[in-house]
A and B are shown apart, each in its own frame.
Chain A
Amino acid sequence: MTHTTATGVETEPGIKAIRLRHPWRNIFAVVLLIIVALFITDAAMRPAYDWPAVGKYLFDQRISQAAFITLQLTVYSMVIAIILGVTLAIMRLSPNTVVSSIAWVYLWIFRGTPVYVQLAFWGLIGTIYQTIDIGLPFTEPWVSFPTRVALSAFILAIVGLALNEAAYMAEIVRAGLLSVDSGQEEAATALGMSWFQTMVRIIVPQSMRVIIPPAGNEVISMLKTTSLVTAIPFTLELYTRSRDIAAVTFETVPMLIVASIWYLFFTSILMVGQYFLEKRFARGIGDRRPDKKADDAAASLTGATPVVGSGQPTVVLPPTDPPQGDR
């Protein structure tokens, strides 16, 4: 279609030109492909990888059980971390200085020390606090039981991972909450919504768009961090289990490959989940139609004539918009 400009000059319909060639880009791509192909064929032949052993252990029951435990560690600790992280983020935004300072100190400690060190501490909790007492301070406890009995290595692993992760989630959530325009809170408040309703209905859904991508990273990162719970020591998760098997069979490299394949499998699933979550929370924001300008023009054409300065009290009907058939 040709356009007629204000001066009446017709513009040309489209541009026909010889496309610019990129020979070096193509050569580079071919070289890369050759290197990759060489690596793959070499790896397939190399005895150290021992592919038959990989195939044998990939679905070994001990390995698949360990993979399931790794998944459990990830899910449980992530759920706790998100709940605690949201709480910490809201605490940091509190007008009460004591509340916000406590949240800050929590972040300072749990982000400032390595998770491996923290897990080692959790492993020693039974030595540091030998009994768990329930009762009023400075009085005889009502119930008292040994810490080692109450808290298994599995629970300590979850607690250790969750408390560390909560510090990072808190910062992600806080950034998300702050990314929402302050006018949103004002509008909700002006409508008579309570603080809690405003958060749950207005602020949090909008902050999700900012929170989900880094939170997805954190879940994937957590899946891999579970391999550190050997510091507690907890030995039933994927990596430690593969190492233990390798220590007996001397098939170290194949076992590493087996563990890697399982980790990759889980992260791939998580990435798919993240994609759909992101789509869900992009509603109304991420899907701007390209023809918005045309929309504006249509709206302005149908707006009623301005009453300003018309001089007499005319009955003005609200403007109506045309049916949507013309788009």
Chain B
Amino acid sequence: MLDTPMVVADRVSKSFGSNEVLKSISLEVKRGEVMCLVGPSGSGKSTFLRCINHLEVVSSGRLSVDGELIGYRETNDKLYEMHPREAARQRRDIGMVFQRFNLFPHMTALQNVMEAPIRVKGLSKAGVEANARTLLARVGLAERADYYPAHLSGGQQQRVAIARALAMEPKLMLFDEPTSALDPELVGEVLDVMQGLARDGMTMIVVTHEMGFAREVADSLVFMDGGVVVESGVPTEVLANPQHHRTQAFLSKVL
């Protein structure tokens, strides 16, 4: 079981009306692997990420996490749409961090982290609070536990968002451009936390424009453009010696 990949995408396509955003994406993410998805905006990387936790419904193809098909149940070769309750159960184990943080503004940092374990897992408040404080300390925000998001900087908010996702003890973490909405001087503190997670063996898929992070931390790099995987491989190799002309064109602009 440990050998099975964490995420398997098999010819995944996604259309919004007549607009085909993802065209037959096939890839695998192994346990403990950190994969960076890069590419120009509109290339479908965020959409693909959102398909993995069923925030978007795939139009065709199969997408499974930890050997379990996402969003559908398969019985006798027939696919049955999942009840929202089932989809919610699958999402519990998949953490997600958003570009715009999406912290709950009416709750303190601590309450943000405690909300899901209490409401979704039904755990006792005392245990959850101790764990939440540990997580906030892990992202370097122990002293800010009682601050509301409006009183935190962007980088601090994003670190709370990471702690909030970790509180559900996910087996997979999805990062949707986690540093794109940050002031340049705040990017480092968020990437540090993410690097710490990677070192602890978390399986991560990161949509990012931070090529330095991809080179240093990622095990694999996937370059997407126009809804297809153009090129993938070891980050240092892809970044140093891109094979496809579209990858070359993109990297020449961002590096």
Q: Please give the residue numbers on chain A whose beta carbons come within 8 Å of chain B beta carbons, in ascending order.
A: 181, 183-184, 186-195, 197, 201-202, 205-206, 281, 283-285, 287-289, 292, 295-296, 299-300, 303-310, 313, 316, 318-324
Contacts and interface: CB of A to CB of B under 8 A. Distances in A.
B140 A295 contact: no
Nearest to B94: A190
Nearest to A192: B92
> Which 6 pairs show the lowest CB-CB distances between chains A and B?
A308-B212, A306-B188, A192-B92, A284-B148, A187-B102, A303-B189
Contacts of B138: 318
Given A206-B105, A206-B106, A189 B188 contact: no
Contacts of B115: 191, 193, 201
Interface stretch (B8-16, B70-78, B191-199, B226-234): B191-199
A285 B106 contact: yes
Contact of A202 (B94, B98, B104, B188): B104
Contact of B192 (A284, A319, A321): A319
Contacts of A322: 143
B188 A191 contact: no
A285 B149 CA distance: 9
A117 to B, nearest CB: 41
Interface in B194-238: 195-196, 210, 212-213, 215-217
Interface in B110-155: 115-116, 119-120, 138-144, 148-155
Main secondary structure of the interface of B (DSSP, over half): helix
Contact of A300 (B102, B144, B150, B185): B185
Interface string B169-180: 000000000000
Contacts of A184: 102, 104
B120 A197 contact: yes
Given A183-B100, A206-B105, A308-B191, A191 B116 contact: yes
A288 B150 contact: yes
Nearest to A293: B153
A205 B91 CA distance: 23
* Range of interface residues on B (Cβ < 8 Å): 35 or more
A320 B187 contact: no
B22 interface: no
Nearest to B148: A284
Nearest to A195: B84
B84 A186 contact: no
B140 A186 contact: no
Contact of A303 (B92, B119, B185): B185
B96 interface: yes
A307 B197 CA distance: 14
B107 interface: yes
Contact of B139 (A187, A299, A305, A318): A318
A307 B191 contact: yes
A285 B143 contact: no
Given A191-B91, A206-B106, A300-B153, A323 B143 contact: yes
Contacts of B192: 304, 306-307, 316, 318-319
A192 B100 contact: no
B156 interface: yes
Contacts of B105: 206, 284-285
Contacts of B104: 184, 187-188, 202, 206
A310 B216 contact: yes
B189 A192 contact: no
